[in-house]
């Protein structure tokens, strides 16, 4: 998974640079698991990774920069599907998100960053950047669906994907309960139905699902 602009330190050359990068990110993950976000420092990361602290500062500048890169790396483990229909794509992505967050360390990383974002503006920027990046990448599913005529004109990709993701983060961060496949399937079905109904089209235009291509593309599937 790639984007046009990476956060600091996000280039991925081979050789020693790649090994250094991986050692540092592994150290960040381990530090978060042991001490949480509040205890994360560049010095502790350098000590655990065996990388000189000056190198860590030069490449990433702040713990927030490191966390952003780590979260971007981990999110790459959630594949972006292309099943041929938006309904299938949303279902597959929802199930992948559910599987991802069954790993307690990934839940811990999310929880730590969200908690920090409530207290520190730089952490809030990291969290916003992470989700903005994921929404941009996953938005290709909605764009394809619109091109196939599955959706009303003008459906906003980020709003469709936000509708899919919101139930997961409510469950994890508010209700404090685990996610499961039933949640994934319900979230996908709700997001798909809302998108087809024109809920995410601009106000005053594109909300007519009618009986044309958008109304017939998937039928009762």
**Residue 64 CB burial class (10 angstroms; 0-12, 13-18, ≥19):** buried
Owner of token pair 């091109």: 147
Identify the residue with better confidence: 42 or 6: 42
Q: What is the pLDDT of residue 17?
A: 87
High-pLDDT (> 90) share of the chain, %: 48
Which of these, 17, 73, 68, 27, lies nearest to 50 by C-alpha position? 27
Q: What is the pLDDT of residue 149?
A: 93
Q: What is the pLDDT of residue 110?
A: 83
Q: What is the pLDDT of residue 14?
A: 57
Average pLDDT over residues 150-160: 91
Q: What is the pLDDT of residue 190?
A: 98
Q: For residue 82, is pLDDT > 90?
A: yes
Q: What is the pLDDT of residue 94?
A: 96
Highest mean pLDDT among 1-15, 48-62, 72-86: 48-62
Taking only the tens place, the pLDDT of each residue in 109-151 is: 888 778 777 877 877 887 787 788 888 888 999 999 999 999 9
Residues in CB range of 21: below 8 A, 6 or more apart: 9, 12, 59
Owner of token pair 């780590």: 70
Lowest mean pLDDT among 122-126, 155-159, 205-209: 205-209
| Average pLDDT over the chain, rounded to an integer | 82
Taking only the tens place, the pLDDT of each residue in 85-102 is: 999 999 999 999 999 898
Q: For residue 219, is pLDDT > 50?
A: no
Taking only the tens place, the pLDDT of each residue in 19-58 is: 999 999 999 999 888 887 778 899 999 999 999 999 999 9
Q: For residue 7, is pLDDT > 80?
A: no
Average pLDDT over residues 165-193: 96
Residue 105 CA to residue 182 CA, distance in Å, equals 22
């Amino acid at each position: 998974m790639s984007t046009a602009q990476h956060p600091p330190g996000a280039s991925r050359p081979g050789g020693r640079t790649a090994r250094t990068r991986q050692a540092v990110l592994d150290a960040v993950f381990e530090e978060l698991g042991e001490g949480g976000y509040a205890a994360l420092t560049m010095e502790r990361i350098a000590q655990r990774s065996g990388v000189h602290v000056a190198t860590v500062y030069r490449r990433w500048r702040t713990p927030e920069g490191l966390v952003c890169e780590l979260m971007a790396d981990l999110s790459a483990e959630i594949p972006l599907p292309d099943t041929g229909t938006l309904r299938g794509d949303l279902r597959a992505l929802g199930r992948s998100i559910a599987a991802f967050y069954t790993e307690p360390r990934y839940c811990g990383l999310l929880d730590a960053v969200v908690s920090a974002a409530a207290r520190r503006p730089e952490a809030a920027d990291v969290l916003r950047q992470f989700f903005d990046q994921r929404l941009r990448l996953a938005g290709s599913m909605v764009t394809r669906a619109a091109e196939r005529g599955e959706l009303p004109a003008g459906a906003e990709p980020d709003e469709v994907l936000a509708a899919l993701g919101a139930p997961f983060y409510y469950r994890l961060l508010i209700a404090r309960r685990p996610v499961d496949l039933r949640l994934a399937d319900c979230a996908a079905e709700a997001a798909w139905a809302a998108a087809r109904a024109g809920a995410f089209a601009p106000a005053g235009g594109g909300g007519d699902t009618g009986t044309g291509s958008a109304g017939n593309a998937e039928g009762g599937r």
